[in-house]
Structure 1
Amino acid sequence: MNESAVPDAPAASSQEVDTCFARFIDVQKSYDGVELVVKGFNLDIQRGEFVTLLGPSGSGKTTCLMMMAGFETPTHGDILLKDQPINGLPPHKRGIGMVFQNYALFPHMTVAENLAFPLEVRHLSKSEIARKVDRALGMVRLEGFGSRRPAQLSGGQQQRVALARALVFEPDLVLMDEPLGALDKNLREEMQYEIKRIHASLGVTMIYVTHDQTEALTMSDRIAVFNDGVVQQLASPQTLYESPENAFVASFIGENNRLMGEVVEHLGKRCEVVLDSGERVVAKPVAAGGIGSRTTLSLRPERVVLLEADDGDGERFDNCFTGTVQEVIYLGDHLRTRLALCGNDEFIIKTPNAEGHPPLRPGQSVTVGWTWQDCRALDA
């Protein structure tokens, strides 16, 4: 596609950047009047931001999106768009683009007719509709596909059409509900970068719902991690991965080794934990309680270093332990090795597939080490 098909977004003024574009204020939602599926949800979204609502099924993320779209009504709280409350505003008057997982294309219409539909209901002229449809097809790299029907397109092409239809009337806000869930891995990755490219080019604000943490990390400016109707942490992808605030976020974002134990000493910026298996570990107290409190230690597999025998490397690490190899999985660029270590038979380490790294074997005894900064003491 010619890059000129997607115009550069105009530079935002400092006032626009500082203005909150969309806002959830103390929003709650109950379907039966008893159980809350969304509990006190607060979120400020800046103009042009890409915010993802991430969490397991039933965590409340899609309900929040549907309330912003107008398909659900908050039980309590307010939703604002451009500083105006929209709780009572019907969906068709909110000016919001929407992309669904099942595409929701009209099968009896051509691609061009699908894209023209939201423009026709807004009573644009035929010439303006034709111009905007051509421009939207260019955005999603489907020039020349206007005369085809949805059944003549692949799944990835249909999703591009659904995205183009959400963008064709030039909304300020686009909502996406698990839009890539029906695509295979390669198509899904391709569409992730396509959506990210379009977002960067147009400067449109996007709220995206997914349960796929890799998808969220790839695309988002900020991610709100949901569980049981509550946002557990709201932060950038890097912060969520490197500095999870609780055990749920640590386990939901990326792979994570968990070791259970009890806090026995606080040492300034560090704490000492006795594991249930008896070993003593030095860690970073993030959400650990006082002495005697139960805690979950969180440790990323790639932060665990395989130590060679008698090479002195162990002196660099605050924590060194010996375990037994249970399983080695070849993953191309790296090896994923499962150890029995510190009372955990599912302890994972990742080692690069490179020269100088001899292959490990099940039953082999190995020594590993990690620093206290990489080991986070979280809630129990």
Structure 2
Amino acid sequence: MNRTDPFVEFSGVQKTYDGETLVVKNLNLEIARGEFLTLLGPSGSGKTTSLMMLAGFEAPTHGTITLDGRPLNRVPPEKRDIGMVFQNYALFPHMTVAENVAFPLRVRDVAGPAIFERVKRALDMVHLTSFTARRPGQLSGGQQQRVALARALVFEPKLVLMDEPLGALDKQLREHMQMEIRHIHERLGVTVVYVTHDQSEALTMSDRVAVFNEGAIQQVAPPDEIYERPSNSFVAQFIGENNRMTGTVEQREGGQCRVRLDDGTAILATAVEQATVGARSTLSIRPERVRIDPAPGAVANLFDATVEELIFHGDHLRVRVAFGGVSDFVVKVHNSDDRPSLAVGAPVRIGWRPDDCRALDAVG
């Protein structure tokens, strides 16, 4: 197999349970060897079904899935050489930590001495060497998840699949485990396909993110591109916080366009392919890209606004303003010594560059 060929490939994959409604619609996706790819989307978007088809727990209704050049459609789950980590850990309660981790090796008839060494190495990797004799019921949720991770990696699979693995953990532990999984991935170079509905988790951990909605991929790109350059309104709204304004494209030149909001306000924006003259468009701009009292000439879009609400978030101040026909426009102001003085009801000038505002497909 050519090294440039995809390690995992979905080709024209569809899935329906009732013969009518497609849960996954014509999925075409390539995953590189050693990549950390996250399938991200709301509940019912098709991401988990896609993962289960790759694992072998669901069969595609149509299309082909290949792993390292080998078609998987007729290969049972236990023959796919894939490690799996679930949200509910799926540990055997009657087995010790060491026995749980050793289980994949025993079913593969690995010799006893080799089992001991590989279990020790896997538990070292997740910092649980001293917990070998404990049972799952004696462990915290985070420790159980580490055992599940060690078990998925101990037989050195070609591919590791993770289905909402951190969903049951509290925020602080979840963030710690995100970094730990990321570091293990970097150290081992194993290919990981990770499912989550948590957009912050996806941005933190992934080489690329595939955003799903209604059974179809909306965009596949590195995290910074997904966040900064969403390809449509769904991606812009689902990933991070986002200001939306609706209007009509009245002029387009190259990569820029002018959109007239319904109250008459004109805004210059970056045009995506849907932004044709006369078409309705949803403008998207991140709150941190908006400037308060920008220097003269610094921005092409400049408006008088009124401060409606101030909320302190520690590292930043969340400022809700009204301007033109928009009443719930949010600005994030970094908490620093030169932060502007603001008060509810006070007038303020806000502005942003056309490069920071995207004219996307109309919604609603």
Q: State the TM-score bracket (shorter-chain normalisation).
A: over 0.9
Q: How does 1:171-320 map to 2 (within 5 A)?
A: 171-307=157-293, 313-320=295-302
Number of equivalent positions: 362
- Contact 2:45–2:214, Cα closer than 8 Å, also in 1: yes
Q: How does 1:91-240 map to 2 (within 5 A)?
A: 91-240=77-226
CA distance in 2, matches of 1:345, 1:109: 58
State the secondary structure of the residue aligned to 2:268: strand
CA distance in 1, matches of 2:322, 2:257: 24
The residue identity in structure 1 corresponding to 2:134 is R
Using the TM superposition, give the Cα deviation of residue 116 of structure 1 relative to its aligned residue in structure 2, in angstroms: 1.0
Aligned with residue 347 of structure 1, among 329, 334, 339: 329
Q: TM-score, normalised by structure 2?
A: 0.97
Using the TM superposition, give the Cα deviation of residue 257 of structure 1 relative to its aligned residue in structure 2, in angstroms: 0.6
Q: Tell me the alpha carbon deviations over residues 90-125 of structure 1, each in whole angstroms, 9 at most, x when there is no partner.
A: 111111000000000111111001011111111111
The residue identity in structure 1 corresponding to 2:361 is D
Q: Tell me the alpha carbon deviations over residues 293-349 of structure 1, each in whole angstroms, 9 at most, x when there is no partner.
A: 1000011111100006xxxx2422111112221211111111111112232222110
Aligned with residue 345 of structure 2, among 360, 363, 368: 363
The residue identity in structure 2 corresponding to 1:157 is Q
The residue identity in structure 2 corresponding to 1:345 is S
Using the TM superposition, give the Cα deviation of residue 287 of structure 1 relative to its aligned residue in structure 2, in angstroms: 3.4
The residue identity in structure 1 corresponding to 2:141 is G
| 2:303 aligned with 1:325 | no
Segment of structure 1 superposing worse, 298-307 or 358-367? 358-367
State the secondary structure of the residue aligned to 1:38: strand
Using the TM superposition, give the Cα deviation of residue 356 of structure 1 relative to its aligned residue in structure 2, in angstroms: 2.3
Q: Which residue of 2 aligns with 1:8?
A: none
Q: Hey, which bits of structure 1, 4+ residues long, moved more than 6 A?
A: none
State the secondary structure of the residue aligned to 2:131: coil
CA distance in 2, matches of 1:163, 1:342: 52
Gaps of 5+ in 2: none
